[in-house]
Structure 1
Amino acid sequence: MTTDRNAETVRTFLRLLEEKDIDTWTGLWAEDAEQVYPFGTTMFPPRLASRQVIGERWQGLPKMFQSLSFPIRELWTDGDTVIARFDGECVMQDGADYRNSYISVFHFTADGLISSYWEYFDPIVAGVAFGLAKVSYPQS
């Protein structure tokens, strides 16, 4: 069944990231795929277009982390769409924890390749963890 195949591809997508196998991971994408960060900033470009560009963007990921873990909390499937809620429980190269929560929307081609991927996460948590942003809260 197509929805089962697509859900399994989402599981494979996250497993390959955990294994830091970006070359195989890139093969899950359609040639004309797009990746979208709806809350994109200069830290995270709002849109990446094409398998090649997406793969190039993610090539540096293995060097940034000692370990990556993305436990799936929920998956919803409907036709060519899978919505995944998962956590990132990662350890950066300096030993610091990086934890974030994600909701991602995957769309698939008829052949089961990822045609689009929308990633929702807390960009403040990411920006602080990567040293790209500082957050301070007013004293009460």
Structure 2
Amino acid sequence: MATPAQSPAELYRHGLQLLLDKDIPGWVGLWDDDGVFEFPFAPDGWPKRLEGKAAVLDYMRDYPDHIDLHEFPELKIHQTVDPRTIVVEMRGVGRWVESGEPFDMTYIAVVSATDGRITHYRDYWNPLGIPKGDR
């Protein structure tokens, strides 16, 4: 559970562990009730913006049924001039559950947190990394 003393970087690292543990309710629990999740590169038919914790939960609920994350071998967290905001470069590695094929995705995210809760998350992932059948 997040605490107000957690920095955005600590909160983010904790969230990555929850994703590895496939604890989606725990991960969504790190969000502010009014948090916003954006996907600027989302393909047609996919959401570009989610508003509120309930929308984030609805979107992420089945994530472990699609992607089995194993590790985040490359993680760089950059502090910005705003102490509430970080820029994250990372790579997620695992497998696609349905096909068993390797999952290997590079991400850049801009994440803001206030009082130990994620308030805004802009996820710049590459939709071309999704198998054609899942797009």
TM-score range, shorter chain: 0.7 to 0.9
8 Å Cα contact 2:8/2:86 also seen in 1: yes
**Structure with greater strand share of residues:** 2
8 Å Cα contact 1:43/1:132 also seen in 2: no
* Closer/same/farther in 2, CA of residues 41 and 49 from structure 1, 3 Å limit: same
Distance (whole Å) between structure 1 residues aligned to residue 25 and residue 132 of structure 2: 24
Q: TM-score if structure 2 supplies the norm length?
A: 0.86
8 Å Cα contact 2:19/2:69 also seen in 1: no
- The runs of at least 4 consecutive aligned structure 1 residues that moved more than 6 Å come to none
Q: Which runs of 5+ in 2 are unaligned?
A: none
- 1:61 pairs, out of 47, 60, 63, with 63
Look up the match of 1:114: 118
* Closer/same/farther in 2, CA of residues 35 and 131 from structure 1, 3 Å limit: same
Look up the match of 1:86: 90
* Closer/same/farther in 2, CA of residues 42 and 24 from structure 1, 3 Å limit: same
When the two structures are aligned, how many residues end up with a matched partner?
Answer: 129
* Closer/same/farther in 2, CA of residues 32 and 101 from structure 1, 3 Å limit: same
* Closer/same/farther in 2, CA of residues 130 and 11 from structure 1, 3 Å limit: farther
Give the superposed CA RMSD. Answer: 1.9
Distance (whole Å) between structure 1 residues aligned to residue 52 and residue 127 of structure 2: 23
* Closer/same/farther in 2, CA of residues 12 and 40 from structure 1, 3 Å limit: same
Q: Which runs of 5+ in 1 are unaligned?
A: 134-140
- Deviations for 1:10-29, whole angstroms, at most 9, x for unmatched residues? 10111111111001111100
Shift of 1:71: 2.9
Distance (whole Å) between structure 1 residues aligned to residue 132 and residue 16 of structure 2: 21
Rg comparison, structure with higher value = 1
Look up the match of 1:21: 23
Q: Using the aligned pairs only, state the percent identity.
A: 28
